[in-house]
A and B are shown apart, each in its own frame.
Chain A
Amino acid sequence: MNTQEYFHFRLFFSKPGDMQYVSHLDLVRMLQRIMRVSKLPIVYTQGFNIHPKISPGPPLSIGVQGENEYCDFILFRNISLQEISAKLQLVLPLQLGFKKVVFLTNKQERKMEYFKYEKILIDPAEYRDGFRKFTDEFIKTKEWHFERMRKGKKREIDLKNAVVRIEFSDKLLMIKTISGATIFDILLDVYQIKREETGKLIIIRKELLPFNYFSASSRN
């Protein structure tokens, strides 16, 4: 039985601009590499392909920028947040933006299911008028049935359950569940923009929100 004590940390960073085209897997590989270079007392995996043991947050789709993405890592020695931040800032590529490092005390926080919601901002560019119109329509509608294929099976989702908050001023701001429907499902079904046409939009995941963020009354 391993009596080694481990210390869990979370690195927050942004994935802006051109980085939105880097896949989640490629991002994870890059994060493994920088952890290696950081010279922090990182815990590594065992087995044939030895690499730093990291747990990334929920994946960002290609075409979506991230402002507060995270990646968890484990140290076998506790050192100050100041020192960890300094070492990571030295090695994190400039293309990614260092935000902060926090110490995770609570096991619940480490679970994938902890973050249930994502806050998305979309700058619609030339589709501004359409966005206004479709957002109003979506808000007025009581139920919005949406069908999609997942793992070869047809699944039905009520988008009104997936989208918890939505508003449009000159940009679209929405809070939606991470699982259920993707941003692109909504763009297609509500705003009638196909995936390959989304290049002119600016789509940013502003932050991830935990499962207990909402009380039942705050939905619209």
Chain B
Amino acid sequence: MKYRPVKFQHLLPAVLKPSRYIGNELNSFRKEISANTVNFCLAFPDVYEIGFSHLGIKILYTILNEHNDCAADRVYAPFPDFGEKLISENIPLFGIESRVPLKDFDILGFTLQSELTYTNILYILELAQIPVSRKDRQENDPIIIAGGPCAVNPHPLSDFIDAFLIGDGEEAIIEIKDVVKKGKDSSRTERLQELSKIKGLFVPEFSGEKKIEARKYMKFGSLDKTHHNQLIPWQMPTHFRYVAEIMRGCSRGCRFCFAGYFYRPVREKNPKAISSQSQKEIENSGWDEAALTSLSTSDYSCIKELMKDLFKITSENKTSLSLPSLRADTIDTEIISLLSRMRQSGLTIAPEAGSQRLRDIINKNISEEEILKSVKIALQNGWKLIKLYFMIGLPLEDDSDIDAIIELVNKIIDLSHKKLRINITISPFVPKVFTPFQWSKMESRSDLLRKAKRLKGVLSRYRFIKVSYHSVETSILECVLGRGNREVGKLIYSAYRNGAIFDSWREYFDFENWQKAAQSNNIKLDEYLAEIPISENLYWENIDIGISKKFLISEWEKAKQKKTSADCRDGKCIACGVCGNGIIPDFVRNDDFQVETIQKL
């Protein structure tokens, strides 16, 4: 019988953290799933604690549920112990609120935040008893949609996903809902055909070579968007705090950073809206921590005014405020002292490269002077912890750049007289699509391991330094899946059949699953890691996120000449291509908190 909730509670005493599966969170909508509504189930392909922290799903969840003609539920990847039980007892995977099987929903929507979650998508489909390959789906199977950052290269997952939503989902999700509502009596194929007509949707079966333009939500900064109280979970998620998204997009133009280009143009939220929503949430829901999120929080036009406003609210309510994504070059005494009053005591700096030469190549425009200055200010305010992020294997890097990391860290140690704890994270560089480095090769496994070992060996000597580094193999996988074509779909399928799930988890990731899969499909992983000649057609050529290929090529050339590019926020447009046809940056200016837009120069 359709829409009947499943019984699964008897399995819970046998699994870890059973409250992952009971839903029942405070402020959840818990709408009835029935034939009277268009039913969405939003899926995050990782475990509850991680998926719950993701803001994107919560935004779409709120938008959908505020419409009377649809209902949105959520699902997170069952941890393997629960997954096994579901399979052995033949219980189909279900929405966390309604407990209705996923296969009874009209649409199952995945968010693609990381390539390492791709096998979990197959896992969820299989647990839901929905055919993993889209070609095997029948009339009554839900339409499987995927969105989020990784959707910009849909080809590796085209065998499994019916429709990809490229770009911002706030408006497109309602258009999708309307198409499915109208098409309740048509065939599944007809519904997919109609979906392919929506701007920003790539439907593998119907879109062909058509150019798909990413959606951009231009009402992000508006004052009048009402805000439903954020979900409060029973199970502790990785980030247990009220999240206020203050800005989308970044104008800095760091050449390795996909998110910076993908989320352009920069759109800032009105500071009064942020303050009043935060106040309401903190008072009504009792959050003991609030976070301002964006790609580069200290770039927000009114950051100090906003912090002062929020300081009043947070101190009255004994809530601490955290600002991840601060940049070292915009940190000054005032910001640090405001943060100190809000009980922050750790500074995060991401130089990414140790030498100025390499920082210029990657266009990470912070100087050593700025880095050391921000460390000094932090020390003066009694801060005890510095987190540093570096990448290795960057384009045009050589061993002197690795030495430069060591020199920089030593300078910080000297400045701090060994009073600071220093946590260093080292990640292998992965060339990302739609960045100037998308043509770059990925450095070989042996060189990456050599460089990582050298850094760990030298820096781990100090008791107060902790070095962690991201696995080289998972980074290689990210590169293959990120820059892959449709052939890679076979790789994903075989790896999954070999047992690959939870690939972002150290305890589950096994590179052999992928190597065997590559062998059995005659796929050479190294081909996806190699440098791509500019003349060659890219697999993701049919997607347009607004950044022109000409611009990316010119940035790649500038990188080779060690030339930097300016931040367009400073007034000089460098013609990345995203502006035009109503798409422009939306900055909040200082004067009387009025919203002003900057015209393209």
Given contacts A26-B234, A33-B232, A50-B318, contact A21 B288 (CB under 8 A): no
Query: Could you tell me if A62 and B18 are in contact, using CB atoms closer than 8 angstroms?
Result: yes
Query: Could you tell me if A198 and B13 are in contact, using CB atoms closer than 8 angstroms?
Result: yes
Query: Could you tell me if A199 and B10 are in contact, using CB atoms closer than 8 angstroms?
Result: yes
A95 / chain B contacts, CB cutoff of 8 Å: 24
* A63 at interface by CB-CB < 8 Å: yes
Instruction: Tell which of B209-217, B269-277, B279-287, B359-367 binds the partner.
Output: B279-287
B76 CB → nearest A CB, Å: 15
Q: Which chain A residue lies CB-closest to B289?
A: A49
Distance A32 CA – B287 CA, assembled complex (angstroms): 10
Chain A proximity mask over B1-26: 1 for CB below 8 Å, otherwise 0: 00000000111111001110110101
Distance A32 CA – B232 CA, assembled complex (angstroms): 13
Given contacts A37-B286, A50-B318, A199-B10, contact A21 B22 (CB under 8 A): yes
B285 / chain A contacts, CB cutoff of 8 Å: 33, 37
* A129 at interface by CB-CB < 8 Å: no
* B230 at interface by CB-CB < 8 Å: no
Q: Which of A149-190 contact B (CB under 8 A)?
A: none
A85 CB → nearest B CB, Å: 19
A44 / chain B contacts, CB cutoff of 8 Å: 318
Distance A34 CA – B286 CA, assembled complex (angstroms): 7
Query: Could you tell me if A18 and B24 are in contact, using CB atoms closer than 8 angstroms?
Result: yes
A36 / chain B contacts, CB cutoff of 8 Å: 286, 288, 317-318
* B236 at interface by CB-CB < 8 Å: yes
Query: Could you tell me if A63 and B288 are in contact, using CB atoms closer than 8 angstroms?
Result: no
* A209 at interface by CB-CB < 8 Å: no
Query: Could you tell me if A199 and B283 are in contact, using CB atoms closer than 8 angstroms?
Result: no
B145 CB → nearest A CB, Å: 29
Q: Which chain A residue lies CB-closest to B284?
A: A37
* B235 at interface by CB-CB < 8 Å: yes
Q: Which chain B residue lies CB-closest to A26?
A: B234
Query: Could you tell me if B288 and A51 are in contact, using CB atoms closer than 8 angstroms?
Result: yes
* A133 at interface by CB-CB < 8 Å: no
Other-chain residue from A30, A195, A200 in contact with B234 (beta carbon distance below 8 A): A30
B42 CB → nearest A CB, Å: 21
* B227 at interface by CB-CB < 8 Å: no
Distance A93 CA – B236 CA, assembled complex (angstroms): 16
Query: Could you tell me if B13 and A62 are in contact, using CB atoms closer than 8 angstroms?
Result: yes
Distance A32 CA – B284 CA, assembled complex (angstroms): 14
Query: Could you tell me if A18 and B318 are in contact, using CB atoms closer than 8 angstroms?
Result: no
Give the tally of cross-chain contacts (CB within 8 A): 70
B8 CB → nearest A CB, Å: 9
Most buried by A among B9, B232, B235: B9
Given contacts A34-B286, A37-B286, A48-B343, contact A22 B10 (CB under 8 A): no
B13 / chain A contacts, CB cutoff of 8 Å: 62-63, 195-199
Distance A22 CA – B48 CA, assembled complex (angstroms): 14
Query: Could you tell me if B12 and A63 are in contact, using CB atoms closer than 8 angstroms?
Result: yes
Distance A62 CA – B19 CA, assembled complex (angstroms): 9
Query: Could you tell me if A93 and B26 are in contact, using CB atoms closer than 8 angstroms?
Result: yes
Distance A100 CA – B12 CA, assembled complex (angstroms): 30
* A145 at interface by CB-CB < 8 Å: no
B26 CB → nearest A CB, Å: 6
* A29 at interface by CB-CB < 8 Å: yes
A26 CB → nearest B CB, Å: 5
Q: Which of B175-226 contact A (CB under 8 A)?
A: none
Most buried by A among B17, B21, B22, B287: B22
Q: Which chain B residue lies CB-closest to A198?
A: B13
Other-chain residue from B10, B232, B286 in contact with A200 (beta carbon distance below 8 A): B10
Q: Which chain A residue lies CB-closest to B345?
A: A48
Distance A44 CA – B318 CA, assembled complex (angstroms): 9
B24 / chain A contacts, CB cutoff of 8 Å: 18-19, 95
Q: Which of A12-60 contact B (CB under 8 A)?
A: 18-19, 21-23, 25-26, 29-30, 32-37, 44, 48-51
Given contacts A21-B12, A50-B318, contact A33 B288 (CB under 8 A): yes
B98 CB → nearest A CB, Å: 13
Chain A proximity mask over B251-291: 1 for CB below 8 Å, otherwise 0: 00000000000000000000000000000000111111000
B234 / chain A contacts, CB cutoff of 8 Å: 19, 22, 26, 30
A63 / chain B contacts, CB cutoff of 8 Å: 12-13
A114 CB → nearest B CB, Å: 28
Query: Could you tell me if B14 and A196 are in contact, using CB atoms closer than 8 angstroms?
Result: yes
A197 / chain B contacts, CB cutoff of 8 Å: 13-14
Distance A36 CA – B285 CA, assembled complex (angstroms): 9
A22 / chain B contacts, CB cutoff of 8 Å: 19, 22, 234-235
Q: Which of B1-59 contact A (CB under 8 A)?
A: 9-14, 17-19, 21-22, 24, 26
Query: Could you tell me if A26 and B9 are in contact, using CB atoms closer than 8 angstroms?
Result: no
Query: Could you tell me if A26 and B12 are in contact, using CB atoms closer than 8 angstroms?
Result: no
Chain B proximity mask over A189-214: 1 for CB below 8 Å, otherwise 0: 00000011111100000000000000
Distance A49 CA – B17 CA, assembled complex (angstroms): 25
A51 CB → nearest B CB, Å: 6
- Name 5 A/B residue pairs within 8 A (Cβ), A-sorted: A22-B235, A33-B232, A37-B285, A62-B13, A199-B10
5 closest A-B pairs by beta carbon, nearest first, are A196-B14, A199-B10, A37-B286, A36-B286, A21-B18
Other contacts beyond A19-B234, A21-B19: 13, CB < 8 A: A18-B22, A18-B24, A21-B21, A21-B22, A23-B19, A26-B236, A34-B286, A37-B286, A44-B318, A195-B14, A196-B14, A199-B9, A199-B10
